[in-house]
């Protein structure tokens, strides 16, 4: 390859002829200025060399080597000659060499010699590459739109041979639905000599199918050299098909948006509404609007600032946002909970707008709250259930470790159930739970362990006297008898008190309070008993786990 500049024309011709002589069966091809195959000029003696089939050298090689061919073609045009090692599409496991010579000064074309494919046999099968169909044709018509001449690309594009097209009324080749438009532009063009009018329509092919074309009619009836209307016919079927595909996709997306059970709204960068479905307006309780803010007027005041900041964040930074927002529902007389999903729309690296999707989650939110309540609270007494109160104790111990607890057992509860029935027994449990909540400190936790057992957790309290004071308020609150239905019941509790040690676990603290509660029950006076090691020594046993049921 010449590094100093383009090679001289005579040298290139001699080098080309020498290469043909050296490889007498190597396939060749002529290439025009656009990189497409051209007829081999008569001035070149091919001898026994076969002509490469197809439309360009790019069709010969595997896709990965097309850039190599393009580079060689550009170098050949600049320097006069170039060489490239490539793999043929028909035999990708073996490399061949393409030698390119710029013979435009002497023969009007560039020539390629495929060295290594000693015959054209390796290129058989590449001839199935379709020829490049023309996209521009010309026809001539008289003043009444009868075709008087067509060119060869017209025949290649539409299939009509000249003898079939000439003499035909051009309107007869136009789709019936497009004829009014064709007539209108034709009359406008005829009204002004020398004027040009353009129209898009479907043109009939010779096989009866239709091709979308753009026809530019130029009125040259007064031109002495033409005396006709010259029509340029451009194939726009790919463009129309792309537009149709976009319209079909838009229709599909619009129909989906109208049928899904969620609200959708599209806004531009300035918050102007581009599209909103009926469901969005129904959820928001608003009618169609041009501005997003007008669509969202149902958002409760205290949550509007957060939603507005989220929308601005999406439109500025493109960050995805998911959040729940309360809406005022004047029609139903209550607030509703909605989940918003905000996503940015982009064109390249620029944010062009956003999509907002809103879903009414009022019922699911209510069910979630209800499930959380059921998982946390005892259905009967509305105290924390066993799992939750023990979790609260564990959390308190994991904090500063200073915890006091009051363990209570309702005396003679079985007799109440047996004598008066379980309904009255349930009322008694509810009344006791209400009294407990009324006398504990703010921040203390009241829980029902199960049956007739209750537990009060007092976080941050390791002073035994302070915990005993809470227990004594519980005693006092339950001294008065309860009237439940026709029965008068004295609700007496056995109460045990304990405080956490340096490394106490929840079960150990409860076991201490449980032992103190049993001492209270043994004494039978309904007075609170503070746990001490002497109780354990007197019992002669290890602390019992509160998970063991007693009867």
Q: Are residues 303 and 409 in the same domain?
A: no
List, as one string, the DSSP characters of 465-514: HHHHHHHHHHHHHTSS-EEETTEEE---EEEEEEE--TT--HHHHHHHHH
Q: Are residues 224 and 312 in the same domain?
A: no
Q: Is residue 204 domain-resident?
A: yes
Q: Is residue 142 domain-resident?
A: yes
* Long-range residue pairs from 129-138, CB within 8 A, at least 24 positions apart, any chain: 129/53, 129/54, 129/55, 129/59, 130/55, 131/55, 132/36, 132/55, 133/157, 133/235, 134/235, 135/234, 135/235, 136/232, 136/233, 136/234, 136/235, 137/232, 137/233, 138/230, 138/231, 138/232, 138/233
Q: Are residues 188 and 265 in the same domain?
A: no
Domain stop point among 365, 398, 426: 365
Q: Is residue 421 domain-resident?
A: yes
Q: What is the C-alpha to C-alpha distance for residues 353 and 274, in angstroms, rounded to an integer?
A: 9
Q: Are residues 225 and 149 in the same domain?
A: yes
Per-residue pLDDT of the chain (551 residues; tens, 9 = 90+): 444 456 667 889 999 999 999 988 889 999 998 888 899 999 999 888 888 877 888 888 888 999 999 999 999 999 999 999 999 887 888 889 999 999 999 999 999 999 886 555 555 445 455 556 788 999 999 999 999 999 999 999 999 999 999 999 999 999 999 999 999 999 999 999 999 999 999 999 999 999 999 999 999 999 999 999 999 999 999 999 999 888 888 888 888 888 888 888 899 998 899 988 888 888 887 777 888 888 887 888 888 889 889 999 999 998 999 998 888 776 666 678 888 999 999 988 899 999 999 988 877 777 877 788 888 899 899 999 999 999 999 999 987 778 999 999 999 899 888 888 999 999 999 999 999 999 999 999 999 999 999 999 999 888 999 999 999 999 999 888 888 877 888 888 999 999 998 777 899 999 999 999 999 999 888 899 999 888 877 665 544 443 333 32
Q: Quote the domain boundaries for residue 68.
A: 9-128
> What CATH number has the domain bearing residue 85?
3.30.450
Q: Are residues 404 and 504 in the same domain?
A: yes
Instruction: Provide the strand spans (E) within 1-45.
Output: 28-31, 37-38
Inter-CA distances, 257 with 38, 64, 294, Å: 53, 42, 20
**Strand 350-360 relative to strand 263-268, pairing:** antiparallel
Q: Are residues 361 and 423 in the same domain?
A: no
Q: Is residue 2 domain-resident?
A: no
Tally the domains of the chain. Answer: 4
Q: Which residues are bridge partners to 493 per DSSP?
A: 410
Q: Are residues 356 and 389 in the same domain?
A: no
Q: Which residues are bridge partners to 85 per DSSP?
A: 97
Q: Are residues 398 and 522 in the same domain?
A: yes
* Other beta carbons within 10 Å of 243: 12
Q: Are residues 314 and 437 in the same domain?
A: no
Instruction: Provide the strand spans (E) within 258-333.
Output: 263-268, 273-276, 321-329
> What CATH number has the domain bearing residue 398?
3.30.70.270
Choose among 529, 514, 546: nearest CA to 409: 514
Domain stop point among 365, 395, 421: 365
User: Given its phi and psi angles, is residue 54 left (phi above 0), alpha (psi -120 to 50 degrees) or beta?
Assistant: left
Q: Are residues 91 and 159 in the same domain?
A: no
Q: Is residue 326 domain-resident?
A: yes
Q: Which residues are bridge partners to 354 per DSSP?
A: 267, 344
Choose among 87, 141, 78: nearest CA to 110: 78
Would you state the torsion angle of the CA atoms of residues 502, 504, 506, 508, taken in this order, to the nearest 10 degrees? -140
Q: Is residue 150 domain-resident?
A: yes
Q: Are residues 431 and 533 in the same domain?
A: yes
Q: Is residue 254 domain-resident?
A: no
Q: What is the C-alpha to C-alpha distance for residues 196 and 209, in angstroms, rounded to an integer?
A: 28
Choose among 47, 59, 50, 43: nearest CA to 26: 50
Q: Is residue 247 domain-resident?
A: no
> What CATH number has the domain bearing residue 298?
3.30.450.20
Q: Are residues 280 and 225 in the same domain?
A: no
Whether 406 and 399 have beta carbons less than 8 Å apart is answered as no
């Amino acid at each position: 390859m010449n590094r100093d500049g383009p090679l001289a024309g005579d040298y290139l011709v001699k080098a080309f002829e020498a290469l043909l002589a050296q490889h007498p069966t190597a396939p060749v091809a002529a290439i025009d200025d656009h990189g497409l195959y051209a007829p081999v000029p008569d001035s070149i003696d091919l001898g026994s060399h076969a002509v490469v089939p197809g439309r360009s050298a790019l069709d010969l090689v595997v896709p990965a080597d097309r850039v190599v061919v393009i580079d060689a073609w550009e170098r050949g045009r600049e320097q006069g000659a170039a060489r490239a090692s490539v793999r043929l599409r028909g035999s990708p496991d073996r490399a061949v060499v393409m030698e390119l010579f710029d013979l435009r000064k002497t023969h009007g074309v560039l020539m390629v010699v495929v060295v290594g494919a000693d015959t054209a046999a390796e290129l058989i099968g590449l001839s199935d590459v379709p020829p490049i169909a023309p996209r521009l044709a010309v026809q001539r018509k008289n003043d009444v739109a009868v075709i008087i001449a067509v060119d060869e690309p017209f025949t290649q594009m539409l299939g009509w041979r000249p003898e079939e097209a000439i003499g035909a009324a051009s309107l007869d080749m136009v789709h019936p639905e497009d004829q009014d438009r064709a007539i209108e532009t034709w009359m406008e063009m005829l009204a002004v000599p020398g004027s040009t009018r353009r129209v898009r329509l479907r043109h009939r092919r010779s096989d009866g199918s239709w091709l979308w074309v753009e026809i530019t009619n130029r009125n040259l009836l007064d031109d002495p050299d033409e005396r006709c209307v010259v029509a340029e016919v451009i194939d726009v079927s790919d463009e129309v098909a792309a537009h149709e595909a976009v319209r079909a996709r838009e229709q599909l997306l619009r129909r989906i948006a109208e049928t899904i059970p969620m609200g959708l709204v599209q806004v531009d960068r300035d918050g102007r509404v581009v599209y909103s479905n009926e469901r969005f307006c129904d959820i928001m309780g608003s009618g169609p609007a041009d501005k997003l803010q007008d669509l969202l007027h149902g958002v409760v005041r205290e949550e509007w600032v957060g939603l507005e900041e989220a929308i601005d964040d999406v439109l500025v930074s493109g960050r995805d946002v998911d959040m729940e927002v309360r809406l005022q529902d004047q029609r139903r007389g209550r607030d509703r909970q909605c989940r918003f999903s905000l996503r940015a729309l982009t064109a390249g690296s620029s944010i062009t707008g956003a999509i907002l999707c809103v879903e009414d989650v009022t019922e699911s939110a209510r069910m979630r709250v209800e499930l959380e309540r059921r998982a946390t609270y005892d259905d009967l007494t509305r105290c924390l259930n066993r799992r939750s109160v023990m979790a609260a104790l564990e959390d308190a111990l994991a904090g500063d470790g200073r915890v006091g607890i009051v363990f209570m057992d309702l005396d003679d509860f079985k007799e109440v159930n047996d004598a008066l029935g379980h309904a009255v027994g349930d009322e008694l449990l509810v009344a006791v739970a209400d009294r407990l909540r009324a006398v504990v400190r703010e921040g203390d936790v009241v829980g029902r362990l199960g049956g007739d057992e209750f537990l009060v957790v007092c976080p941050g309290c390791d002073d035994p006297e302070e915990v005993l004071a809470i227990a004594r308020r519980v005693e006092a609150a339950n001294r008065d008898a309860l009237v439940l239905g026709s029965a008068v019941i004295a609700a007496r509790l056995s109460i045990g008190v304990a405080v956490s040690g340096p490394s106490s676990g929840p079960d150990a603290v409860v076991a201490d309070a449980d032992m103190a509660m049993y001492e209270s029950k043994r004494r039978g006076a309904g007075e609170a008993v503070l746990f001490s090691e002497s109780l354990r020594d007197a019992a002669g046993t290890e602390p019992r786990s509160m998970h063991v049921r007693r009867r």
